[in-house]
Chains A and B, each alone.
Chain A
Amino acid sequence: MDLRTIDASPSAEERLAVDSVLGAPESGWFGGERTPLDGHVAIGGLSLAESRRHLLLPALHALQARVGSISPAGLGYLATRLDLPPAEAYGVASAYALFSFEPTPSVVVHVCDDVACRAAAGGDPTDELAQRHGPAGSGTAVTWWPSPCLGHCEHGSAALVQVAGVRGGRGSIAPFAIGDMDRLVAMGAELDVEDLAVPLALVPQAGAGSTRLLRRVGQVDPASLDSYRAAGGYRSLRRALDLGPAGVIAELKDAKLLGRGGAAFPTGAKWEAVARNPLRPHYFVANADESEPGTFKDRVLLDHDPYALIEALTIAGITTGAEKGFVYLRGEYPVAARRLEHAAAEARNRGLLGVDVMGSGLTFDLEVRQGAGAYIAGEETALFNSLEGRRPEPRNKPPYPVDRGLFDKPTGVNNVETLLSVLDILAVGAAAYAAIGTPDSTGTRLFCLSGRVEHPGLYEVPMGTTLGALLEMAGGVAGGRPLRAVLMGGAAGSFVGPGDLDLPLSFEGVRAAGTTLGSGVVVVLDDTVDTTAFVGRIAQFFRDESCGQCVPCRVGTQRQEEILGRLAAGRPLGSVDDELALLADLDQVMRDASICGLGQTASSVVMSALRRGLIGNGAPQGNGRNP
């Protein structure tokens, strides 16, 4: 490669930030002081550079946290250290929302204005903020920007605070009121994110005894391995080691566990495919890039029961023959990141991770990696690219991850809820697990209730529970107002209406009704919510989160947003019917021709809203039902 490095000297802070991730420079050729040996030797080359590239994202995080932005000199130093072309490094970094490339105030507050908080607020949650503290991006010491969903939906408002400095990092505030912003502005650079209170998790069923995935939330000390073990932790790993890989896979198949990530793929079959693949090494990834608007279940589980994921991922690793695992956690979950790191370290200290897991002679270890503000990184192949230090762009499938995934090797990937369900299956046995729920949708399922509901929070119910029963558990519509619609599944989901309360929440139930469980999002809208603006926010979300790789999604999401803007303003191009025809064409090309699920579902909510008369004057299009 014709590496030309950026001709600017990094500051001492920038060097320290990068070196905190990469260690001291190996030689004068890669960022260190020149020595006489450097005159005769350089060890480098493409294969070495490729093998280190995965450290790009962690090092970018370090620069952003310490300096507050990625400067040309900082990126140049990082690129030199990794022997990576600066243009490539810039291309990767600029795909993430949490990195900035211009000098930025040392405190940046990302304020959620996404669907759940919008529904809860009954309007744009940032309006008051803008009036009091100036428009987005203003402010010299402290600034704010609107943000897509931050995963604190049950609180109805949330902010992610990014602070630059020696003790820089990210912290969360939820609920987030205007007074919080006043306080942040007053503190300025004095703020230490570690001092921010950990947001509570609203789990109305906590301690009720009827829950399985949620049973330790609020009951164990998330910092204490002993507390976790006292609550039954690591019994599932013990059982998995006793059963051996074939036994574990048989249990998953008998339990009929389907993945909770949206595609409902049989987990046992996936694990078996990885385990049997002769190519080595294998990897296993926990997808904790929970970014679907309205979803907060991973946050609750990982903030309050982090050891459960460590144990579950360990089981996945030893079952599928992976010695290395990754937790890919969205960058907006700083508390979960700290707690998972701590839990992994404790587990390692106690022989539950590393070269001899629980005395089995088997090796498995894991790393926690954080995203940096990119919904698309939750798509499994984009996630692999992100972990590898490439742009978070989905790959073409096939090949599938079980054949060629992370680092082009066989890879298992499951989301957090699926992995935690494995713990439960191994704890109670496949038969007992399969007895819960419906014959085709076994076990329990988590639902994230937010919006205009009396008791928002994370709920766990057996598969097949009706939507009405779930809403009833949550106290129904807030204030007893009329139900207008429920957004199921998040931004990639669809609406159901007041007539759908008998909808059974099972894979087969929602499929028959033309909707989706998705990531368990249930955003309740009453008659006060401006549904046109609500749907417009979803269109904006896809426009902002498209990776830009394929034409249907890159331009289609832009055009979809424009049309909704015209409809909201009552200024259609031509007739309303022309606009609807255009939306239908966009829907078809995005669904049919996009590379990945983001583009394929980017029009789902919009089309569903049209059918239900939730856009503009409220006249439903078609029969009002999901197809």
Chain B
Amino acid sequence: MYAVDPRRSTSAQWADVWMGIDVGSDIALANTVGREIIRAGLVNTEFVRRATTGFEEYAEAVEPFTLAEGERLTGVPADLIASLAHDYARADRAQLCWTLGITEHHSATDNVLALCDLSLLTGHVGRFGSGLVPLRGQNNVQGGGDMGALPNKFPGFQDVENDDIRAKFDARWGVSVPPTRGWHLSQMFDAMEHGELRALYVLGENPAQSEADTPRAVHLLEGLDHLVVQDIFLTKTAQLADVVLPAALAAFESEGTVTSSERRVQRLRPALQPPEGARDDLEIICELARRLGSDWGHPSAEEVWDECRSLSPMHTGMRYDRLESLGGIQWPCPSEDHPGTPFLHGRLWAEDPDKRGNPAPFMPVAFEPPLDELSEEFPLRLTTGRRLDSFNTGVQSNGYASPLRRPETLDLSPEDMASLGVGEGEVVRITSRRGSISAPVHLERSLRPGLAFMTFHFPDQVNTNVLTLDTWDPKSGTAEFKATAIRVERLPDAVGAAPVLETAEAG
């Protein structure tokens, strides 16, 4: 196992090799690996010939990424990059797994494409045990997309801009769905800024704390004509709202389905009575529809699901009782006798060209370092992330007494703590090109000099996202949370205090 992460995380401790790349150099690493696989003659040429297009363009695009160049761009020694390339290409089965370290960059989609290219190069896709595995951070982030919570998709990833598809939905729903795509989250905030978006209905999100460049997000939310928030808590966003709709907790208090990382649709069942006044999301939405002049009745969760199955071919076979007896089903599941699909893209291996279908295109991508450049003024690279026992902005996780919990800190390498002259627990000022906050310092040996780390689990204590850059990936709409340039300064009343570094030697 190779772990690629700027920090030597817990997962990286498992790895045979940990590669501590410079933040945001993922494409440089992937392209260097790709070039080395080609150079060493380890390309799965049969697979590439039969199942892909664009290899020549890809090979040309990665040609500048020599091992030496890869080392220069990523900070990882060339020989290790070469061994990664060789081991990955030679492995009988190999997976590339990733989380937000790949996607919370301005080049999020390109980062993913660079990895897809490697899987095509080696044929590590569409086979049992080989593939591309994006690990989802929320229990239903996959399901949200599946159900059409995307600007341009109906449930089942059916394109809103496709007339035939739209006609199917129009007929079933008895309405005329607008033929153009909507906005994604980052575009919505831009639209608010330009005055094009004046009213917002937020369900179960807390953008006032979770968005990058928080002051701007709050300012824009405050500027709306009308803000409706439906949540189980009076979140910071809900506090800005004109109307708050108290909701039952989806996971424990209502009926429905969620879809996990592996595309497995599973049933939720209510275990608790919701608090007085809180209502099921489904009930609220139907009631809202009724008041807006469209009576949808009082459908059960299963009835809503059955409608979805009738419109989304990849969900068609997922009857409730089948979800129950099979312990969930992985899409696509096109019919009620279909067992579900443990892995995708197996068609690329079909002998029969008709079954193989369209070849998978190589998508060469260019490397561009993080936008928030390091400078003399902002010399440290801050990257953000999660801790095991906490969850996002802490709305759910801060309620339980986790024995692992410690408050927000600015994690620094022992070397940086020494050169800054700061001690464990000392509160310092952290400044980026967007704003400034203060937080206590924590010594963290998993960090190298020049690299700092914070979470955003405790926004009420330290609002980390004041610092982050909200420039987003034009393709996915994700902001570059992972790469911020900062400087750290001692607070005036702390100057002169003796730095405490007794744990620096700890094995």
Contacts and interface: CB of A to CB of B under 8 A. Distances in A.
Contacts of B8: 29, 42
A586 to B, nearest CB: 42
Given A39-B449, A42-B8, 19 more contacts: A5-B507, A7-B506, A9-B505, A9-B506, A10-B507, A29-B8, A31-B507, A36-B449, A37-B77, A39-B413, A41-B80, A42-B12, A42-B17, A45-B1, A45-B15, A45-B16, A45-B17, A47-B16, A76-B507
B419 interface: no
A9 B503 CA distance: 8
A39 B20 CA distance: 6
Contact of A40 (B13, B14, B21, B445): B21
B7 to A, nearest CB: 10
Interface string A1-40: 1110111111000000000000000000101001011111
B414 A40 contact: no
Interface string B1-41: 10000001010111111111100000000000000000000
Interface residues of A, number: 29
Given A29-B8, A45-B17, A40 B506 contact: no
B415 interface: yes
A74 to B, nearest CB: 10
A569 interface: no
Most buried by A among B14, B413, B507: B507
A38 B75 CA distance: 11
A39 B446 CA distance: 8
Contacts of B507: 5-6, 9-10, 31, 73, 76-77, 80
B448 interface: yes
Given A9-B506, A37-B77, A39-B449, A46 B14 contact: yes
A177 interface: no
Contacts of B13: 1-3, 44
Contacts of B14: 1, 45-46
A85 to B, nearest CB: 11
Nearest to B15: A45
A198 interface: no
A449 B334 CA distance: 82
Report, as a range, how many residues of chain B touch the other chain: 20 to 34
Nearest to A25: B507
Contacts of B413: 39
B449 A43 contact: no
A2 B446 CA distance: 13
A48 interface: yes
Contacts of A41: 17-20, 76-77, 80
Given A29-B8, A39-B449, A45-B1, A5 B18 contact: no
A44 B506 contact: no
Interface in B482-507: 503, 505-507
Interface in B30-85: 75-77, 80
A535 B297 CA distance: 85
Nearest to B413: A39
Contacts of A45: 1, 14-17
Nearest to B449: A39
B448 A39 contact: yes
Nearest to B507: A80
A1 B16 CA distance: 12
Nearest to B18: A42
Interface of B: 1, 8, 10, 12-21, 75-77, 80, 413-415, 445, 448-449, 451, 503, 505-507
17 contacts: A5-B506, A6-B507, A7-B503, A9-B507, A34-B445, A36-B449, A39-B451, A40-B21, A40-B76, A41-B18, A41-B19, A42-B15, A42-B18, A44-B15, A45-B15, A46-B16, A48-B16
Contacts of A31: 507
B383 to A, nearest CB: 14
Contacts of A77: 507
Nearest to A78: B507
Interface of A: 1-3, 5-10, 29, 31, 34, 36-48, 73, 76-77, 80
Contact of B16 (A9, A39, A44): A44
Contacts of A7: 503, 506
Nearest to B13: A3
B451 to A, nearest CB: 8
Nearest to B17: A43
A48 B451 CA distance: 28
Nearest to A8: B506
A77 B507 CA distance: 6
Nearest to B77: A41
A34 B507 CA distance: 11
Most buried by B among A6, A9, A10, A31: A9
Contacts of B15: 42, 44-45
Nearest to A79: B507
B172 to A, nearest CB: 50
A8 B503 CA distance: 8
A158 B399 CA distance: 63
Contacts of B12: 42
A117 B483 CA distance: 73
Contacts of A48: 16
Contacts of A39: 20, 75, 413, 448-449, 451
A80 B445 CA distance: 13
Contacts of A43: 16-18
B42 to A, nearest CB: 22
A211 to B, nearest CB: 54
Most buried by B among A5, A29, A31: A29
Contacts of B16: 43-48
B10 A2 contact: yes
B500 to A, nearest CB: 14
A1 to B, nearest CB: 6
Top 4 closest pairs, chain A to chain B, by CB: A39-B448, A45-B16, A42-B18, A40-B20
Contacts of B506: 5, 7-9
A40 B448 contact: yes
Contacts of B76: 40-41
Nearest to B22: A40
A12 to B, nearest CB: 12
A5 B76 CA distance: 26
Contacts of A73: 507
Contacts of A38: 448
Contacts of A6: 507
Contacts of A29: 8
Contacts of A10: 507
Nearest to B75: A40
Contacts of A5: 506-507
A31 B507 CA distance: 6
Nearest to A86: B507
Nearest to A38: B448
A2 B445 CA distance: 14
A103 B209 CA distance: 53
A13 to B, nearest CB: 15
A282 to B, nearest CB: 26
A41 B21 CA distance: 9
Contacts of A44: 13, 15-16, 18
B356 to A, nearest CB: 37
Nearest to B502: A9
B505 A40 contact: no
A336 B196 CA distance: 89
A44 B15 CA distance: 6
A189 to B, nearest CB: 28
Nearest to B74: A40
A10 B506 CA distance: 8
Contacts of B20: 39-42
Nearest to A7: B506
A24 B20 CA distance: 23
Nearest to A42: B18
Contacts of B449: 36, 39
Nearest to A77: B507
A562 B208 CA distance: 69
Contacts of B445: 34
